[in-house]
């Protein structure tokens, strides 16, 4: 029954401040607490959301699990950790080994490789997607068209993540737009469909279960203990859709993007540039990239298992971090509200 008491206390505190906000004043040291939390938790959120959530899976998707002979060499002489050598075992089968690999490349900076380009992509996607959504109000094509327009940037991000550090700026590493568009347009469409299905199922579930969502400009909804099972059901369904739809679609896109990597680029982990002999270089009359079918057939069953195990570990780390975050912040919020004074 503890969760019921916490929910009741939360609603009481919210009502207290919502009804008469001008009569209460938080302690003067509240900004210091908020700043301390920001300093502590922002790097952790970045590591979990960006390094574990984006960089690690990308490396796992492109790694060749059966290289003929591969001995990782540390590119950063000052790095404390050296890239692990585990004969017969892919590097990305272990989060620790993957972290050591990144550390051996450029120290702690490798944990945020490509982050500048990722920020640029996010800003461009937000602006372009918003404009396209308004221009095409009846069909949600904005995200799809925005991804197509930004395919050079997204492909360059994948190349930056899997290759050795370069002195070139990200805009100097953009692959040719025509070739990149031709290679990635269908994988991007598949990923967009997977994401649209997931969002559609989420919207239907919330409506069927009667779970009210927060809406901008409106009073936040009041949740009760009976809403817990609804949230759990929706969460589990979204996890399943993530695993069976979005993850496979992203695998196909990333592998197609990786097939566009230049022959002179040095990769930081084992990488089969021929994709099992399916890639025909443009110099010998081929396309110079693999097809969606090639991306699927060249990714072996053990590779799928390794990738899903990585996602399971990332999910566990994410939950642990958020529990730690909640264990610290929630008591702080209750304490600050309890010590608030009437103005």
Among 56-65, 194-203, 233-242, 329-338, the minimum mean pLDDT is found in 329-338
Task: Answer yes or no: is pLDDT of 19 > 90.
Answer: no
The residue ranking higher by pLDDT, 43 or 189, is: 189
| pLDDT at residue 336 in the model | 81
Residue bearing tokens 């996010």:
122
Q: Which two tokens stand for residue 329?
A: 């912040």
Each residue's pLDDT tens digit, 237-252: 999 999 999 999 999 9
**DSSP letters of 4-20?**
HHHHHHHHHHHHHHHHS
What pLDDT is stored for residue 25 in this prediction? 78
Q: Which two tokens stand for residue 249?
A: 């679609």
**Percentages of the chain per state (helix, strand, coil), in multiples of 5:** 70, 0, 30
Q: What is the pTM of this model?
A: 0.83
**341 pairs with which residues across the strands?**
25
Task: State residue 135's pLDDT score.
Answer: 75
**Helix, strand counts (H, E) of the chain:** 12, 2
Which run of H or of E encompasses 45? helix 30-46
Nearest to 119 by CA among 60, 46, 220: 46
Q: Are strands 341-342 and 24-25 parallel, antiparallel or unpaired?
A: antiparallel
- Per-residue model confidence as pLDDT tens digits over 230-285: 788 888 999 999 999 999 999 999 999 999 998 889 999 999 988 988 887 777 76
Residue 292 and residue 253 in contact, taking contact as beta carbons nearer than 8 Å: no
Hey, CA dihedral for 87, 90, 93, 96, is it positive or negative? Answer: positive
The pLDDT of residue 172 is above 50: yes
Identify the three-state secondary structure at position 16: helix
Out of 30-34, 82-86, 304-308, 328-332, the most confident range is 304-308
Return the sign of the alpha-carbon dihedral for residues 315, 316, 320, 321: negative
Architecture of the domain whose range is 2-342:
Alpha/alpha barrel (1.50)
Q: What is the mean pLDDT of residues 178-182?
A: 95
For the chain, what is the mean pLDDT? 83
Q: Once rounded to an integer, what is the mean pLDDT over residues 203-208?
A: 88
pLDDT tens per residue across span 27-70: 788 888 888 888 988 888 889 999 999 999 999 999 998 876 55
In the predicted structure, residue 22 carries a pLDDT above the cut 80: no
163 in Cβ contact with 75 (< 8 Å):
no
pLDDT at 316 over 80: yes
For residue 186, what pLDDT is reported? 96
Quick one: pLDDT at residue 339?
77
Q: How would you class 58 by CB atoms within 10 Å of its CB: exposed for 0-12, middle for 13-18, buried for 19 or more?
A: buried
Domain ranges, ordered by start, for the chain? 2-342
């Amino acid at each position: 029954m503890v969760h019921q008491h916490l929910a009741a206390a939360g609603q009481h505190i919210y009502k207290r401040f919502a009804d008469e906000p001008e009569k209460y004043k938080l302690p003067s040291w509240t900004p210091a607490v908020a700043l301390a939390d920001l300093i502590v938790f922002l790097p952790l959120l970045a590591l979990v959301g960006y390094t574990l959530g984006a960089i690690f899976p990308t490396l796992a998707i492109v790694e060749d699990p059966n290289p003929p002979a591969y001995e990782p060499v540390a590119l950063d002489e000052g790095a404390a950790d050296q890239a692990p050598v585990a004969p017969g075992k892919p590097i990305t089968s272990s989060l620790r080994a993957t972290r050591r690999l990144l550390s051996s490349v450029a120290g702690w900076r490798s944990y945020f490789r490509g982050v500048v380009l990722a920020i640029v992509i996010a800003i461009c996607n937000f602006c372009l997607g918003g404009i396209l959504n308004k221009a095409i109000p009846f069909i949600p094509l904005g995200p799809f068209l925005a991804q197509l327009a930004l395919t050079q940037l997204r492909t360059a991000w994948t190349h930056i993540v899997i290759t050795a550090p370069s002195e070139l700026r990200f805009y100097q590493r953009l692959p040719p737009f025509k070739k990149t568009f031709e290679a990635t347009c269908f994988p991007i469409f598949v990923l967009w469909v997977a994401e649209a299905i997931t969002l559609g199922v989420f919207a239907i579930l919330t409506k069927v279960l009667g779970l009210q969502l927060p809406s901008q400009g409106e009073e936040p909804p009041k949740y009760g203990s009976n809403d817990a099972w609804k949230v759990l059901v929706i969460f589990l369904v979204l996890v399943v859709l993530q695993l069976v739809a979005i993850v496979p679609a992203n695998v196909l896109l990333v592998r197609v993007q990786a097939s566009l990597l230049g022959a002179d680029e040095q990769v930081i982990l084992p990488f089969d540039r021929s994709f099992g002999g399916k890639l025909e270089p443009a110099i010998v009359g081929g396309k110079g990239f693999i097809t969606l079918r090639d991306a699927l057939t060249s990714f072996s069953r053990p590779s799928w298992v390794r990738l899903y195990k990585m996602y399971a570990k990332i999910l566990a780390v994410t939950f642990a971090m958020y529990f730690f975050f909640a264990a610290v912040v929630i008591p702080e919020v209750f304490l600050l509200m309890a010590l608030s004074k009437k103005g």
